[in-house]
């Protein structure tokens, strides 16, 4: 299927001329927002991008693209894009701006920085970033190396509940991160003679076809299915993959830890585990054996609402398949028991001997260790400044640096109380928190309003920019940038294939411009972005070539990443000994670190804070379990809402409801309905979903309406359909990780003219929020 | 790949068993043909989800080329695949003379062949 491209047209150089077009062969990563970095061919004329195609010679995507990159031209040349730096005139929220130059913008930032440094200390500058796009290391460098502040925060994502729990569980248990092996790490893909197809893939807590999370291209699953791989899908909703699976486990949201413990119980009791791996490479197995005794399948069935026989059958199917991979996702992070579920699922991979074997869950590092992502520039923060991190001392995992972030829930408290010190300035780069990441969005809105000075770097004017920003800076898109990608493998060039739109600048240029102004001692040594990128490629034992060479190579696969059984070969530890990068050198079923921190060393189930077993009284008023955050094909989180081609596919925010439940509530398909709980309400359109448990409903996230008025009180309707009117902040698991975005409660009822007199956005922006919240 | 001198009828073969409704073909086609919102050169239709008596789920998507589809004549003349075939995220679309595609059609169930 991928072989018969016309290789005369699809060349392997990095740049060529094809008639009137200059063709640039590279990869794309931000914008558009996405966790992937597909290979593309950019066809431009006179500096303007005219066409885009998937690069058949990119092993990552082999010519394929999703609708968002296919729609690139519409986005790059959208008249709604920010064109030049804007300075606020009028009040915050008025959406009144004055065009200024970059120099004027930098003057304002520099003056503000100096004033804050002299009067308050640089720690009172905090940065908010969004999910894993090519806008991670840049704000981290601006915050730490340029401003000198230690306060980098995941844009009010309660409980850091996106990949941080899963990565941390991996790091604590085996010292590295694992991903499912669909042959993507080797340039020859399935033809790599060492690779084996996973006999079974467990798709757990994600719909990868749509989400493409964590650098995993979802349609690789389809490639595997076509080779004969069988699926087990864990999802509260019927997805297309669930419909095709041998076993679909429809669990109650927020009970993944219990389910994983049930699997562990069956696999241990039926002696289906990999004795060789357990005996030679693991620590603490006996403790795990004891713990899983508390989770017999009958009990797990009661907790998860999954029939016992299905749990047993799925556990057997996974354990007997050699090899088998678990393709896990965000839902695991978005619950109270995020760490517990992440740990138990990692244990499953180890127990069945699937760690770092072909077709299993393989150990990956960022290609040539070239990416520090959110952790960048931490070395610039001296010890006494680290101690000033907001809220970090309350969470041992944060304090010991397993995540580079300060806890978002604590930053919110800090904005609300001014303790330990008032935040004077917020820097937002590629994040739109009130539309997307922030739990309890109306509360975050009120808190962010208190911060005196705010800069937003983005592509489009957003509700967060209108509500809070003093300065808005226009960012360049991927096709206009020089950058690179080293998230997993290969190392990929991101080369400019078009001139930058109007006066937009790339995130890299903004780093360098600001760095040269504020910290010339650190940044004057780089003549330009090209030199800076070369330094990042080469420093600390990186590659031995410069950025231009990477642009020529386009893709560079790191052989380390496609070497299997690295723990046996002594490739993981700095001492060169076999084993894992853990205190015992073994895979750790029990974590001594957890003990030191005062956490339970072994996985366990934690009930959602709101639900039938924790708050039965509350269920009388709010009888449905609410899960949120299912992905949209054409809209990445809060992005893409201003693009006609994407809105044609997603015109309105949709909530899913079982038709039987809808009937009882007098709701017809397509009706606008309110979803409401103690914290607030929002309206979405009902869509029938017969795969959903009648007691569970699902709401979309990220909705705002660029077509509506930007100025408050309308504020692009950002709170009207905002599912985060119903979610929480400050409610998280014992480790400070994981928040119940996907497992709270609500009631659903029809929108009528009588109950829709004042819009939720007006309630939030003009009336101090929902009355529930004020109570 | 290039359309031959012969007068053979050309078409699209789609292994719809693995169509995920990813919308790539629809959008790629819109861009190639310069179509406005509401216009399609290929449209993905849905059957299901519905449970069969055995308990197995039935849920299929079927991309249907419309009368606006010109089999990407401009691209094909340049030696490219039709853009839907090139970009299909599941890699399940094939372009060629219908006689050749018909042979492929016999290889497995749940495929459809469209002639143009
Ligand atoms: S998955 Fe889609 S948006 Fe992401 S890089 Fe690939 S084509 Fe672009
Ligand atoms: S062959 Fe070309 S014109 Fe026909 S449906 Fe595919 S993309 Fe559209
Ligand atoms: S591109 Fe392929 S998988 Fe996607 S909707 Fe079209 S035919 Fe189906």
Q: What CATH number does the domain containing B69 carry? A: 3.30.70.20
For A135-144, write each residue's pLDDT tens digit. Answer: 999 999 999 9
Give the residue-averaged pLDDT of A21-29: 98
Give the residue-averaged pLDDT of A547-576: 98
Grade residue B13 by pLDDT with cuts at 50, 70 and 90.
very high
Ligand 2 mean position to B92 CA, how many Å?
Answer: 14
Looking at chain B, which residue has its C-alpha nearest residue A211? B22
Which residue owns the Cα nearest ligand 2 atom 2?
Answer: B72
Give the residue-averaged pLDDT of A599-620: 96
Q: Does A73 touch chain B (CB under 8 A)?
A: yes
Are A634 and B48 within 8 A, CB to CB?
no
Q: Which residues 245-304 in chain A show a CB within 8 A of chain B?
A: 248
Query: Which strand (E) or helix (H) includes residue A104?
Result: helix A102-119
Q: In sequence order, what are the residues at sequence separation of 6 or more whose Cβ sits closer than 8 angstroms to the Cβ of residue A103?
A: none
Query: For A84, left (φ over 0), alpha (ψ -120 to 50), or beta?
Result: beta
Which residue owns the Cα nearest ligand 2 atom 1?
Answer: B71
- Domain range for B23: 10-115
Count of domains for chain B: 1
Residue A774 has pLDDT above 60, yes or no: no
Establish if B46 belongs to a structural domain: yes
What is the predicted pLDDT for the residue at B1? 47
Q: Is the CB of residue A354 less than 8 Å from the CB of residue A282?
A: no
Helix (H/G/I), strand (E/B), else coil: A188: coil
Question: Does the domain made of A616-774 have the CATH classification 2.40.40.20?
Answer: yes
Grade residue A773 by pLDDT with cuts at 50, 70 and 90.
very low
Helix (H/G/I), strand (E/B), else coil: A179: strand
Long-range Cβ contacts of A10-16 (<8 Å, 24+ apart)? A10/A41, A10/A55, A10/A56, A10/A57, A10/A63, A11/A57, A12/A57, A12/A554, A13/A552, A14/A493, A14/A495, A14/A551, A14/A552, A14/A553, A14/A554
Q: Is the CB of residue B113 less than 8 Å from the CB of residue B13?
A: yes
Query: For A541, left (φ over 0), alpha (ψ -120 to 50), or beta?
Result: left
Q: Give B25 to chain A, closest Cα distance, Å.
A: 8
Identify the sign of the CA torsion A538, A544, A549, A552: negative
Ligand 3 atom at shortest distance from the alpha carbon of B63: 7
Nearest by Cα to A494 from A562, A578, A554: A554
For A691-733, write each residue's pLDDT tens digit. Answer: 999 999 999 999 999 999 999 999 999 999 999 999 999 999 9
Grade residue A311 by pLDDT with cuts at 50, 70 and 90.
very high
Residue B6 has pLDDT above 80, yes or no: no
Between CA A268 and CA A1 the distance in angstroms is 41
Grade residue A543 by pLDDT with cuts at 50, 70 and 90.
very high
Q: Is the CB of residue A224 less than 8 Å from the CB of residue A182?
A: yes
Grade residue A401 by pLDDT with cuts at 50, 70 and 90.
confident
Distances from the Cα of A626 to the Cα of A505, A675, A693, angstroms: 40, 9, 11
For A520-534, write each residue's pLDDT tens digit. Answer: 999 999 999 999 999
Between CA A627 and CA A570 the distance in angstroms is 43
Question: Is the pTM here over 0.95, yes or no?
Answer: yes
Report whether residue B69 contacts ligand 2, using a CB cutoff of 6 Å.
yes
What is the predicted pLDDT for the residue at A380? 95
Establish if B86 belongs to a structural domain: yes
Domain boundaries, chain A: 177-364+570-597, 616-774
Between CA A52 and CA A477 the distance in angstroms is 14
My answer on whether omega of the bond before A420 falls inside 30° of 0, hence cis, is: yes
Choose from A56, A243, A690 for mutation: most chain B CBs within 10 A: A243
Q: Give B95 to chain A, closest Cα distance, Å.
A: 11
Between CA B1 and CA B16 the distance in angstroms is 22
What is the predicted pLDDT for the residue at A3? 66
- Residue A357: phi and psi, rounded to 5, are -105, 155
Helix axes A285-292, A256-269, angle to 10 degrees: 110
Count of beta carbons in the 10 Å neighbourhood of residue A585: 18
Q: What are the chain A neighbours of B23 within 8 Å (beta carbons)?
A: 67, 633-634, 649
Between CA A105 and CA A107 the distance in angstroms is 5
> A177-364+570-597 maps to which CATH number?
3.40.228.10
Strand partners, A625: A696, A745
pLDDT cut 70: percent of chain A above it: 99
Give the residue-averaged pLDDT of A1-27: 92
What is the predicted pLDDT for the residue at B4? 52
What is the predicted pLDDT for the residue at A592? 86
Burial class (CB in 10 A: 0-12, 13-18, 19+), A420: middle
Residue A772 has pLDDT above 70, yes or no: no
Query: Which strand (E) or helix (H) includes residue A331?
Result: none
A681 DSSP 8-state letter: E
Q: Give B99 to chain A, closest Cα distance, Å.
A: 18
Residue A37 has pLDDT above 70, yes or no: yes
Nearest by Cα to A734 from A340, A171, A439: A340
Residue A2 has pLDDT above 80, yes or no: no
Q: Is the CB of residue A411 less than 8 Å from the CB of residue A689?
A: no
Establish if B5 belongs to a structural domain: no
Among the listed ranges A87-96, A368-377, B57-66, which one has the minimum average pLDDT value? A368-377
Which residue owns the Cα nearest ligand 2 atom 3?
Answer: B69
Are A222 and B20 within 8 A, CB to CB?
yes
Establish if B4 belongs to a structural domain: no
Question: Helix, strand, coil shares of chain B as percentages rounded to 5?
Answer: 30, 30, 45
What is the predicted pLDDT for the residue at A4? 87
Establish if B3 belongs to a structural domain: no
> Rounded mean pLDDT of chain A?
97
Q: Give A645 to chain B, closest Cα distance, Å.
A: 6
Grade residue A775 by pLDDT with cuts at 50, 70 and 90.
very low
Query: Which strand (E) or helix (H) includes residue B38?
Result: none
Helix (H/G/I), strand (E/B), else coil: A463: helix
Looking at chain A, which residue has its C-alpha nearest residue B76? A6
Helix (H/G/I), strand (E/B), else coil: A658: coil
Grade residue B7 by pLDDT with cuts at 50, 70 and 90.
confident
Q: How many helices (H) and strands (E) does chain A have?
A: 29, 28
Measured in whole angstroms, how far is the alpha carbon of residue A651 from the centre of its chain? 24
Nearest ligand to the CA atom of A134: 1
Establish if B1 belongs to a structural domain: no
pLDDT cut 90: percent of chain A above it: 96
Choose from B3, B19, B20, B79 for mutation: most chain A CBs within 10 A: B20
Nearest ligand to the CA atom of B76: 2
Q: Is the CB of residue A314 less than 8 Å from the CB of residue A232?
A: yes
Q: What are the chain B neighbours of A650 within 8 Å (beta carbons)?
A: none
Looking at chain B, which residue has its C-alpha nearest residue A67? B24
Among the listed ranges A386-390, A394-398, A604-608, which one has the minimum average pLDDT value? A394-398
Between CA A722 and CA A767 the distance in angstroms is 17
ipTM of the complex: 0.96
Burial class (CB in 10 A: 0-12, 13-18, 19+), B86: buried
Nearest by Cα to A764 from A437, A416, A446: A446
Establish if B59 belongs to a structural domain: yes
Q: Is the CB of residue A602 less than 8 Å from the CB of residue A287?
A: yes
Report whether residue B70 contacts ligand 2, using a CB cutoff of 6 Å.
yes
Are B48 and A243 within 8 A, CB to CB?
yes
């Amino acid at each position: 299927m991928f072989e018969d491209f016309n290789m005369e047209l699809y060349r392997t150089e990095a740049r060529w001329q094809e008639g009137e077009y200059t063709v640039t062969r590279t990869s794309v990563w931000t914008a558009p927002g996405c966790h992937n970095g597909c290979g593309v061919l950019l066809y431009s004329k006179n500096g303007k991008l005219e066409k885009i195609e998937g690069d058949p010679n990119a092993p990552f995507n082999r010519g394929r693209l999703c609708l968002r990159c296919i729609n690139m031209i519409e986005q790059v040349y959208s008249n709604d894009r920010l064109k030049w730096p804007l300075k606020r005139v009028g009040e915050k929220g008025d959406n009144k701006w004055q065009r200024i130059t970059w120099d004027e913008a930098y003057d304002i930032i520099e003056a503000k920085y100096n004033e804050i440094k002299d009067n308050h200390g640089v720690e009172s500058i905090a940065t908010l970033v969004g999910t894993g796009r090519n806008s991670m290391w840049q704000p981290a460098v601006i915050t730490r190396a340029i401003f000198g502040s230690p306060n980098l925060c995941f844009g009010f994502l309660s409980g850091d509940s996106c990949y941080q729990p899963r990565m941390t569980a991996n790091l604590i248990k085996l010292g590295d991160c694992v991903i499912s092996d669909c042959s993507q790490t080797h340039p020859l893909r399935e033809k790599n003679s060492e690779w084996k197809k996973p006999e079974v893939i467990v798709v757990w807590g994600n719909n990868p076809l749509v989400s493409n999370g964590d650098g995993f291209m979802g349609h690789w699953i389809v490639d595997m299915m076509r080779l004969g791989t069988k699926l087990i899908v864990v999802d509260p909703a019927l997805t297309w993959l669930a419909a095709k699976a041998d076993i679909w486990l429809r669990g109650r949201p927020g009970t993944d830890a219990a389910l994983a413990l049930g699997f562990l119980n069956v696999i241990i009791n039926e002696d289906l585990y990999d004795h060789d791996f357990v005996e030679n490479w693991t620590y603490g197995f006996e403790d795990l054996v004891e713990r899983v005794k508390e989770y017999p399948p009958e009990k797990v069935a009661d907790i998860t609402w999954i029939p016992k026989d299905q749990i047993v059958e799925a556990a057997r199917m996974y354990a007997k398949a050699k090899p088998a991979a678990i393709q896990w996702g965000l839902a695991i992070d978005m619950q109270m028991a995020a760490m517990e579920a992440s740990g138990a699922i990692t244990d499953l991979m180890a127990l069945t001997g699937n760690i770092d074997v072909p077709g299993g869950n393989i150990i990956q590092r960022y290609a040539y260790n070239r990416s520090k992502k959110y952790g960048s520039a931490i070395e610039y923060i001296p010890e006494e400044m680290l101690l000033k991190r907001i809220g970090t001392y309350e969470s041992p995992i944060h304090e010991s640096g397993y995540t580079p972030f300060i806890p978002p829930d604590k930053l919110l408290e800090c904005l609300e109380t001014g303790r330990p010190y008032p935040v004077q300035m917020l820097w937002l780069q590629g994040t739109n928190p009130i539309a997307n990441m922030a739990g309890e969005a109306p509360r975050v809105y009120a808190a962010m309003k208190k911060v005196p000075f705010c800069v937003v770097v983005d592509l489009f004017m957003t509700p967060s920019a209108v509500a809070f920003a003093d300065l808005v800076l226009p960012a360049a898109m991927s096709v206009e940038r020089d950058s690179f990608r080293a998230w997993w493998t290969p190392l990929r060039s991101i080369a400019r294939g078009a001139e930058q739109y109007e006066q937009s600048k790339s995130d890299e240029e903004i780093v360098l411009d600001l760095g040269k102004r504020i910290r010339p001692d650190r940044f004057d040594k780089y003549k330009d972005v090209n030199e800076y990128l070369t330094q990042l490629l080469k420093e600390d034992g990186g590659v031995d070539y410069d950025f231009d060479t990477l642009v020529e190579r386009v893709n560079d696969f790191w052989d380390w990443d496609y070497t299997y059984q690295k723990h046996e070969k002594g490739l993981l530890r700095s001492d060169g000994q076999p084993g894992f990068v853990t205190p015992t050198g073994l895979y750790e079923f029990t974590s001594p670190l957890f003990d030191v921190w005062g956490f339970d060393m072994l996985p366990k189930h934690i009930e959602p804070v709101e639900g039938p077993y924790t708050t039965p009284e509350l269920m009388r008023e709010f009888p449905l379990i609410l899960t949120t955050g299912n992905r949209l094909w054409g809209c990445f989180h809060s992005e893409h809402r201003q693009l006609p081609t994407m809105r044609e596919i997603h015109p309105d925010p949709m909530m899913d409801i079982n038709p039987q439940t809808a009937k009882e509530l007098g709701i017809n398909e397509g009706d606008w309905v309110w979803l409401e709980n103690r914290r607030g309400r929002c309206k979405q359109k009902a869509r029938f979903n017969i795969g959903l448990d009648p007691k569970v409903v699902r709401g979309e996230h990220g909705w705002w309406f660029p077509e509506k008025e930007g100025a408050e009180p309308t504020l692009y309707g950002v709170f009207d359909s905002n599912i985060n009117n119903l979610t929480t902040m400050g409610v998280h698991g014992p480790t400070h990780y994981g928040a119940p975005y996907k497992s709270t409660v609500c009631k659903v009822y029809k929108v009528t003219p009588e109950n829709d007199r004042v819009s939720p956005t007006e309630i939030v922006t003009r009336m101090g929020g929902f009355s529930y919240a004020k109570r | 790949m290039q359309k031959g001198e012969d007068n053979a009828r050309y078409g699209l073969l789609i292994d719809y068993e693995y169509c995920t409704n990813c919308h790539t073909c629809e959008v790629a086609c819109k861009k190639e043909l310069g179509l406005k919102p509401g216009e399609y050169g290929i449209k993905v239709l849905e059957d299901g989800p519905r449970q069969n008596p055995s308990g197995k789920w039935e849920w299929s998507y079927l991309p249907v080329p419309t009368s606006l589809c010109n089999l990407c004549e401009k691209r094909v003349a340049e030696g490219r695949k039709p853009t839907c075939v090139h970009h299909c995220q599941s890699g399940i679309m094939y372009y060629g003379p219908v006689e050749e595609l018909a042979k492929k059609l016999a290889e497995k169930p749940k495929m459809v062949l469209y002639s143009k």
